[in-house]
Structure 1
Amino acid sequence: MTEHDDGSLDATARVVDPATTDDERRIEAALRPRRLADFPGQRRVRDQLGLVLEAARRRESPPDHVLLSGPPGLGKTTLAMIIAAELEQPMRITSGPAIQHAGDLAAVLSSLAEGEVLFVDEIHRMARPAEEMLYLAMEDFRVDVIVGKGPGATAIPLELPPFTVVGATTRAGLLPAPLRDRFGFTGHLDYYATEDLQLILTRSAGLLEIESTREGIHEIASRSRGTPRIANRLLRRVRDWAQVHGQHVVDQEAALVALELFDVDKQGLDRLDRAVLEALCKRFGGGPVGLSTLAVAVGEEPDTVETVAEPYLVREGYIVRTPRGRSASRTAWQHLGLTPPTPVAGQDHLPLGDQPRRFDH
């Protein structure tokens, strides 16, 4: 735990997703596949997207707009770059938080060339006026530029060349229906299987000139939470440990010791995940407990707990989201080495949802 100047403790420092430096960005960019055929995993999305792009090439016209959704680190940005590469078109990159006024978007749209790919990351965070301008541009390839103010203001239509919008979002449900309906293809990326992560890590090790063994790669892949971004970062941390200790080979022994050093356990849970589980089980008796209360208990923002830790914990069955808050499952208690509360007679599960919390003492 990290002690702050005020004496409080921060149990949520995450070693599997550290602040990205310029060197890290360059390394991650170098590890991105350039073509759809080289993109591992996500087979259904890859096949569907390949069909859409091939049809567009044969028609010699831009493809339908593409929406990519899914948790962070699964390859949405990489797929956007692959789309531009497959179409042999330049790509313009922006993000939802950067577009807070319709004028910002109008400036970007008016400078697009025919066939260009516009990638909008975190598209659900765009301002509402910009969203309305974007879905008009996506459908009719024009924007209305407002000149003047008040009663004398006039709208001048500006025609745009055909282009393709690729939107990426971690929360597709926050997109307004009119904008979501403008996307002709929607692909949802899910967590990767360990076998796919092994392929990714083997390729990354080759590109980074890291000598590795199959057992070492498997150990890292099995603890990477189904996320390639985390897998590649853990690979570099294990490489660092091996080099410092004179091994120069990422084998199973190096992976085991290095991942223990960086607080990544066998199930891929890190310090924040365990802090959430310990708060649920030790402080709140297994829950249910509200998200805000849980976030305060671990010293984090509610959004961080909900978007960073919770998806994996829910997916793996450690916590359950109920109408009354978050509850710990038996798996969570067992993972922490604790004995779950004993239910009353005739009740073979922990009370969740709207059931009353009654335990024998």
Structure 2
Amino acid sequence: MTGEFNDAVSAEVLPEDRAFEAALRPKSLDELVGQDRVREQLALVLEAAVARGRTPDHVLLSGPPGLGKTTLAMIIAHQLSAPLRLTSGPAIQHAGDLAAILSGIGEGDVLFIDEIHRMSRPAEELLYMAMEDFRVDVVVGKGPGATAIPLEIPPFTVVGATTRAGLLPGPLRDRFGFTAQLDYYAAEDLYDIVRRSARLLDLSIDDDAAREIGSRSRGTPRIANRLLRRVRDYAEVRAGGHVDHGVARAALELYEVDDLGLDRLDRAVLDALCRSFGGGPVGISTLAVAVAEERETVEELAEPFLVRLGFLARTPRGRIATPAAWRHLGLTVPQDVAQLSFDDAE
């Protein structure tokens, strides 16, 4: 990623934010704001397992970045009073990597695998057996002299997290007894999250200011907390530490986050699409060059939100700006764009 974009509205985890996010994480399902259906379903799964005195089924958490998958994994371990072991798919590139992790698993432990869709195929196949039979065969040696040593594993629970559930092989998905699809948060839930985080940070904030921050957070708690952090900086330096509605708006304007949550990159994509390419269609690689960013940056950070807002459509011929995008930029919608049909959008 060679270009620059506004980290304030990125749902990716930045190193400097890890301690900040950890301090604000809810510790139990009762403290968790939003995701009401998932909370109720998960509570039943955990309570039933505890009542039976058994480890709960393996849990798959699916959804976009920043919606609380890691937080839920921590809550699961807390609710079960079990140790939590954390790893990630990219870190498990060989079956031996997974075997080393599993050899240290204790009875009832919770193993959290973030980005589980990025595990290597040999490691996935080893995980199948571990999840279903609580045993793995560790191969020692190579060639004709290789031998498989069975390794018994005490019952444990895998919690997998993925932003791309479609990339998970069917056999792996089938071994999860409970799958939770996390949805984007409503504005009122984000308001509650901002208020809760402000209390934990001992930050004085008005209700209108909290709603303003929540409404610009793209439906994502991680972004809401990140924007709150930036607003707090602004308030401490320029407003005596108190955040009212005017302070919140001024801070968010400074960090180039508009009323809908669009940042500099989002607006640059729309501006290039409308002004430089007449609204499209245009290929994603060409669009990325026009805004001086990597293709992956535009495709993964800007495009999903613009599609959600109805500002951009993906078609077989390329990306197209909708009439709403033209209006958001304050531009007159061309007649040919106004008459476009988006029925063939991907």
Report the TM-score when normalising by structure 1: 0.91
For residue 339 of structure 2, what is the amino acid of its counterpart?
H
Matching of residue 180 in structure 1 with residue 173 in structure 2: yes
Aligned to 1:58: 51
Q: 1:280: Cα distance to partner?
A: 1.4
User: In structure 2, the residue corresponding to 1:289 is in which secondary structure?
Assistant: coil
**Partners in 1 of 2:179 and 2:13 — Cα distance?**
30
- Please tell me whether the aligned partners of residues 213 and 228 of structure 2 are also in contact (alpha carbons under 8 angstroms): yes
Aligned to 2:339: 349
Aligned to 1:322: 315
Aligned to 1:358: none
Matching of residue 218 in structure 1 with residue 211 in structure 2: yes
Aligned to 1:359: none
**Cα separation, partners in 2 of 1:220 and 1:328, compared to 1, 3 Å:** same
**Partners in 2 of 1:69 and 1:19 — Cα distance?**
17
User: In structure 2, the residue corresponding to 1:47 is in which secondary structure?
Assistant: helix
**Partners in 1 of 2:311 and 2:222 — Cα distance?**
22
**Cα separation, partners in 2 of 1:243 and 1:354, compared to 1, 3 Å:** closer
1:20 to 14, 20, 31: 14
**Cα separation, partners in 2 of 1:52 and 1:194, compared to 1, 3 Å:** same
**Partners in 1 of 2:339 and 2:304 — Cα distance?**
22
User: Equivalences for 1:79-94 in 2 at 5 Å?
Assistant: 79-94=72-87
Matching of residue 233 in structure 1 with residue 226 in structure 2: yes
Aligned to 1:48: 41
Q: 1:351: Cα distance to partner?
A: 4.6
- Please tell me whether the aligned partners of residues 212 and 245 of structure 2 are also in contact (alpha carbons under 8 angstroms): yes
Map Cα deviations across residues 278-321 of structure 1 (whole Å, 9 max, x no partner): 12112222122222222222222222222221221111111112
1:287 to 280, 297, 303: 280
Q: 1:350: Cα distance to partner?
A: 2.1
Q: Aligned Cα RMSD in Å?
A: 1.7
Matched-pair identity in %: 68
**Partners in 2 of 1:350 and 1:340 — Cα distance?**
11
Aligned to 1:194: 187
Report the TM-score when normalising by structure 2: 0.95
**Partners in 2 of 1:34 and 1:62 — Cα distance?**
20
Aligned length: 343
2:124 to 107, 131, 150: 131
Q: 1:325: Cα distance to partner?
A: 2.1
Map Cα deviations across residues 105-151 of structure 1 (whole Å, 9 max, x no partner): 00001110001000000111111111111112111111111111112
Moved more, 294-303 or 195-204: 294-303
**Cα separation, partners in 2 of 1:213 and 1:140, compared to 1, 3 Å:** same
Aligned to 1:145: 138
- Please tell me whether the aligned partners of residues 235 and 243 of structure 2 are also in contact (alpha carbons under 8 angstroms): yes
Map Cα deviations across residues 87-120 of structure 1 (whole Å, 9 max, x no partner): 0000000001111111000000111000100000
**Cα separation, partners in 2 of 1:42 and 1:176, compared to 1, 3 Å:** same
**Cα separation, partners in 2 of 1:354 and 1:165, compared to 1, 3 Å:** closer
- Please tell me whether the aligned partners of residues 324 and 354 of structure 1 are also in contact (alpha carbons under 8 angstroms): no
**Cα separation, partners in 2 of 1:229 and 1:19, compared to 1, 3 Å:** closer
**Partners in 1 of 2:339 and 2:95 — Cα distance?**
52
For residue 70 of structure 2, what is the amino acid of its counterpart?
T
- Please tell me whether the aligned partners of residues 8 and 223 of structure 2 are also in contact (alpha carbons under 8 angstroms): no
User: In structure 2, the residue corresponding to 1:265 is in which secondary structure?
Assistant: coil
Unpaired runs of 5+ in structure 1?
A: 5-9, 356-361
**Partners in 1 of 2:290 and 2:4 — Cα distance?**
10
**Partners in 2 of 1:173 and 1:52 — Cα distance?**
24
For residue 123 of structure 1, what is the amino acid of its counterpart?
I
For residue 276 of structure 2, what is the amino acid of its counterpart?
R
Map Cα deviations across residues 20-51 of structure 1 (whole Å, 9 max, x no partner): 344x3222101000000110001111111111
Aligned to 2:328: 335
